[in-house]
């Protein structure tokens, strides 16, 4: 009878060890999943902020396009030269003579900017989009200096 009870205890012990191992595995996988979820949340928050910033800059770019279009339409001159002179008196700061286009950079976050370049058709009194793109304004430099303790104070 004593042998029977001893074998029964051994069987309960091995199944308990397997159960403990399974519970530890599940707890470990649960914690890893929680860590991944936190990282995914941080990434999605950053992505949402970048998208929001882009749409803010895009809205300002649309306002700039409307400003140039409205100024071209409201110009009172009858010839192309008169229209150009009147428009440039109002929007001359944005005009690039070498490219013959209106240009503005709208700052965004993370060292980026939205560049809007518009080509004016003086005869039709409209503006055509030449370029509408996001570019990096600042050089990205990684800090590779490592402060290592040398043992001295």
pTM for the whole structure: 0.69
Q: In what order do the strands lie in the sheet with 101-107?
A: 95-96, 101-107, 112-121, 126-136
For the chain, how far is it from start to end, CA to CA, in angstroms? 72
Residue with tokens 């010839």: 79
Higher pLDDT, 79 or 65: 65
Report d(CA 129, CA 76) in Å as an integer: 23
Q: What is the pLDDT of residues 73-128, one digit of tens each?
A: 888 877 888 888 888 889 889 998 888 899 999 999 888 999 999 998 888 888 99
pLDDT at 7 over 90: no
Alpha helix (H) ranges present in 1-140? 2-74, 80-91
- CA–CA dist 99, 113 (Å, integer): 20
In the beta sheet, which residues pair with residue 144? none
Dump pLDDT digits (tens) for 120-153.
888 888 899 999 999 998 877 777 787 877 787 6
pLDDT confidence of residue 151: 80
Cα 91 to Cα 22: distance, rounded to the nearest angstrom:
72
């Amino acid at each position: 009878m004593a042998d029977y009870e001893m074998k029964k205890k051994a069987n309960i012990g091995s199944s308990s060890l397997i159960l403990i191992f399974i519970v530890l595995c599940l707890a470990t996988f649960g914690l890893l999943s929680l860590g991944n979820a936190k990282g995914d949340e941080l990434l999605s928050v950053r992505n949402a902020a970048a998208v929001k910033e882009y749409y803010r800059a895009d809205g300002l770019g649309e306002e700039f396009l409307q400003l140039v279009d409205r100024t071209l339409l409201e110009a009172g001159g009858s010839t192309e030269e008169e229209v150009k002179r009147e428009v440039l008196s109002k929007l001359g700061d944005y005009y690039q003579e070498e490219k013959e286009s209106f240009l503005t950079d709208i700052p965004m976050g993370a060292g980026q900017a939205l560049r809007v370049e518009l080509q004016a058709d003086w005869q039709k009194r409209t503006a055509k989009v030449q370029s509408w793109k996001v570019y990096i304004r600042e050089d990205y430099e990684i800090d590779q200096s490592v402060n290592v303790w040398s043992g001295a104070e």
